[in-house]
Structure 1
Amino acid sequence: MYTPNIGPGSLDAVCSEGPLSSAEGLSVYDAIRLRRDVRAEFTGEVVDDATLLRILEAAHRAPSVGNSMPWDFVVLREPGMLGKFADHVADKRQQFNDSLPADRAETFNPIKIEGIVESGTGIVVTHNQARGGTHVLGRATVPETGIYSTILAIQNLWLAATAEGVGVGWVSFYDEPFLTDLLDLPPGVKPVAWLCVGPVHEFQQVPDLERFGWRNRRPLESAIHFDRFTDRADDLTAH
């Protein structure tokens, strides 16, 4: 079982350190542009504990509805655990591939969807809707703001990792009950994301799904509306 060296005051010491020297001067806009969903670029080295804790500290500083902070972070490095999850994901990938029309299956086939073993570290971000109690300020009328808060923590983690030169890949090819059982998650705790985290050779200039012809990014102008929503149904299925 992986346990980082965390003692009294150690988090404060680690998290007060600046980012790696190679990332100095990287603005939030730079990190947003540089960020990639990493699959094939992991070096095989394991991210060091000091960097990992800085990244988790950034995630833990995310805004949350009613300051409920409904997230937890399960860090996995045990090869057996990584291997079990990788095997499960491979099965789910094949099921998805088999469901595709022939032309889309041909496009999908060369796309790598995970770097579970290669990254050396998995972080499962979980959500607990009960965190903060019954009367969470701001959540009564929009209950989904709870899980939205957890997603914000994931975004913080991803951008902080990018600023550190560390890659992140979000794996979503899994059955939730399988992951719940694998991690012994208690009732009410929902796995939201398995993130592959590790040093990378490079960040690709063009995202994988664009490079492999699966789907292009929407232009910004197609996503902006003024005063009223303009129906653009043709955008929903465009490749």
Structure 2
Amino acid sequence: MSDQAFSAAEREAVYRAIAERRDMRHFAGGEVAPELLARLLEAAHHAPSVGLMQPWRFIRITTADLREAIHAQVEVERQRTAEALGERSDEFMRLKVEGVRDCAELLVAALMDEREAHIFGRRTLPEMDLASLACAIQNLWLAARAEGLGLGWVSLFDPQTLADLLHMPPGSKPMAILCLGPVTAFYSEPMLVQEGWAAPRPLAELLYTDRWGQP
């Protein structure tokens, strides 16, 4: 054990947050206290980022009209996704895929504009800005779980349409609609597993040694 390790109780809490994090769709309304929201966003802001570019931008949605407009955009894409799924269309439409109207706080996570100027770590892998944003969202997710709040990542939207709605500058790009707030209970396992949509694969099937496909 490294002498830099956390205590046993602290380590257990970290691993528990990771194991019990869920992509939540069912919310109980309520509110998130301003100081708690600030703490969660600060946790997101502590994420690693390539070249320390910190490409994340968070837009807090505070008006009912704007929330409703975002919900309408999600609904349009939900219908289009159902059509694209073919024989699984009806099964998909029975799933609850967002909590935009029900959550206490609604955030849009986006990539900054003028990202092309940042080449440190991105010359051959420009998508590392997205990886950095994903790390920030994961930080937010884990901190929310530790605080007893649910968070759901909604990706059912057209990026340009949402960017236009939010008056985002050219070159920026919304990547996630984040539903945050109190929940009655956390799912005991991922919701898509509970609903029979998909089954998780064990780590052993995804871990290789020395070359692709070699266990």
TM-score (norm 2): 0.89
Unaligned ranges ≥5, structure 1: 1-23, 233-239
Unaligned ranges ≥5, structure 2: 1-9
Which residue of 1 is the match for residue 120 of structure 2? 137
Amino acid corresponding to residue 128 of structure 1 in structure 2: M
Which residue of 1 is the match for residue 37 of structure 2? 52
Q: Is the contact made by 2:44 and 2:136 (CA closer than 8 Å) also made in structure 1? A: yes
Distance in 1, Cα, partners of 2:35 & 2:58: 16
Distance in 2, Cα, partners of 1:26 & 1:43: 28
Identity, in percent, stands at 43
Amino acid corresponding to residue 34 of structure 1 in structure 2: E
Give 1:231 shift: 7.7
Instruction: Determine which of 21, 25, 34 is the counterpart of 2:20.
Output: 34
Which residue of 2 is the match for residue 92 of structure 1? 77
TM-score (norm 1): 0.80
Distance in 1, Cα, partners of 2:210 & 2:118: 33
Q: Is the contact made by 1:120 and 1:198 (CA closer than 8 Å) also made in structure 2? A: yes
Secondary structure of the 1:170 match is: strand
User: 1:95-149, CA deviations, whole angstroms, 9 ceiling, x for partnerless residues?
Assistant: 22233333x2232232100000100321111112635x73543222322212211
- Shift in CA distance, 89/227, structure 1 to aligned 2, threshold 3 Å: same
Distance in 1, Cα, partners of 2:79 & 2:119: 41
Distance in 2, Cα, partners of 1:135 & 1:118: 38
1:1-239 equivalences in 2 (<5 Å): 27-40=13-26, 42-102=27-87, 104-128=88-112, 130-131=114-115, 134=117, 136-230=119-213
Q: Is the contact made by 1:36 and 1:203 (CA closer than 8 Å) also made in structure 2? A: yes
Distance in 1, Cα, partners of 2:95 & 2:211: 38
Aligned pair count reads 206
**Alignment RMSD (CA, Å):** 2.0
Give 1:25 shift: 8.6
Distance in 2, Cα, partners of 1:26 & 1:231: 32
Give 1:151 shift: 1.1
Distance in 2, Cα, partners of 1:58 & 1:26: 19
